[in-house]
Amino acid sequence: MRVIRSWTPMHLAQLTLDWIDERIGLRGLITASLHVTIPRSAHTYYLGGITLFFFMSQAVTGILLSLYYRASPESAYDSVLFIMNQVNFGWLIRSVHAWGANLMIVFCILHMLRVVVQGAYKAPREVTWLAGIALLFVTLGFGFTGYLLPWDQRAYWATTVGTEIPGAVPFIGSFLRDLMRGGADVSAVTLTRFFGIHMLVLPASLAGVLMAHLFIIHQQGLADPKEDETKGAAK
C-alpha cells in the first residue's frame, strides 16, 4: 500500500486503483490485455483499430441521441428535428453518428481487404475470420436498421425496398419479409422493431463477438507476412 501525502484527485484515483488491484489483480489483467506483439512489417494493421474507434464513437453518440429520440411514427421525425435545431450540439452529435456509420462500414471492409490481401485468414486464424464475418453483418445491420429511424420519406421507402429483397427468396421469402416488417407493410411495428434491434440486439451482439475477435487476436498475435507460420506453432 503506497503512502499518500496530499489528497489531490490524482492521488485519490491511485488509492482507489490500488484498493481494487489488491483485491482482483486488475493491473495485471489490463497489462496482459494491452500487450499484443505487432509485426515490424505491419503498415496496414491500424484498419481494425480505426473500425473499433468508430464503434466506440457510435456507441457514445448513439446513447446521446437516444436521450431525445422517440420511436413512434407520430414523434420520430419531430424528435429528429428537435435534436437538429433545439438540442445543444444535437446537429453535431447526429452528424457524427450518421457519418460514423458510413465510415465504420468503409473501414470494416478495408480491414477485411487487408486480411484477404495478406492471407491473414489462413490457419490458425479461421475463427478470427469467421468472427469478423459476423461483425461485418452486424455492422451492416446497424446501417440498415438505423436508416429507418428518422421516419422520413427516404427512410420509409428505403426500408420498403430493403425488406422486399429477402421477400424474393424462394419458399420462405414472404415469411422473412413479414418477420422483418412485423406485418405485411412497413408500419409502426417495423419502427419499434428496428429501434429495439438497433439499440439493444445489435450492440450486445457486436460487443460479444468483438470480445471474442480481440481475445483470439490477443492469444495468437497478429499474422506476420514475413514469417511462414505453417512451419511452426502459432505465436
Please enumerate in sequence order all residues whose Cβ is within 8 A of that of 145, keeping only pairs 6 or more positions apart, or say none: 194, 195, 197, 198, 202
- Comparing CB distances to ligand HEM, the nearer of 187 and 220 is 220
Q: Could you say which DSSP state residue 85 is in?
A: H
Please name which of 123, 139, 116 lies closest in space to residue 216, comparing C-alpha atoms: 123
User: What are the C-alpha distances in Å from 108 to residues 97, 147, 226?
Assistant: 16, 18, 24
Q: Which of 115, 148, 191, 197 binds ligand HEM (CB under 6 A)?
A: 115
Residue 136 found at the interface with ligand HEM (CB under 6 A): yes
Give me the DSSP letters along 170-223. Answer: TTTHHHHHHHHHTSSS--HHHHHHHHHIIIIIHHHHHHHHHHHHHHHHHHH---
Whether 104 contacts 136, CB under 8 Å:
no
C-alpha distance from residue 212 to each of 39, 207, 223 (Å): 21, 9, 17
Check binding of 101 to ligand HEM (CB under 6 A). no
Size of the site for ligand HEM (CB under 6 A): 26
Choose, by CB under 6 A, the member of 65, 76, 108, 199 that binds ligand HEM: 108
Only one of the segments 7-15, 112-120, 144-152, 161-169 lies at the binding site for ligand HEM (rule: CB under 6 A); that segment is 112-120
| CB closer to ligand HEM out of 135 and 148 | 135
**Least distance from C-beta 79 to ligand HEM, angstroms?**
28
Residues 174-213 that bind ligand HEM (CB under 6 A): 210, 213
Q: How many Å apart are CA 105 and CA 159, to the nearest integer?
A: 18
Q: Of the candidates 83, 93, 120, 149, which one interacts with ligand HEM according to CB under 6 A?
A: 120
Q: Tell which one of 15, 18, 26, 52 touches ligand HEM (CB under 6 A).
A: 52
| Interatomic CA distance for residues 163 and 128, integer angstroms | 30
The minimum distance between CB 225 and ligand HEM, in angstroms, equals 8
One residue of 58, 128, 145, 190 binding ligand HEM per CB under 6 A: 128
Q: Footprint of ligand HEM on this chain (CB under 6 A)? A: 45, 47-49, 51-52, 55, 108, 111-112, 115, 120-121, 125, 128-129, 132-133, 135-136, 139, 210, 213, 217, 222-223
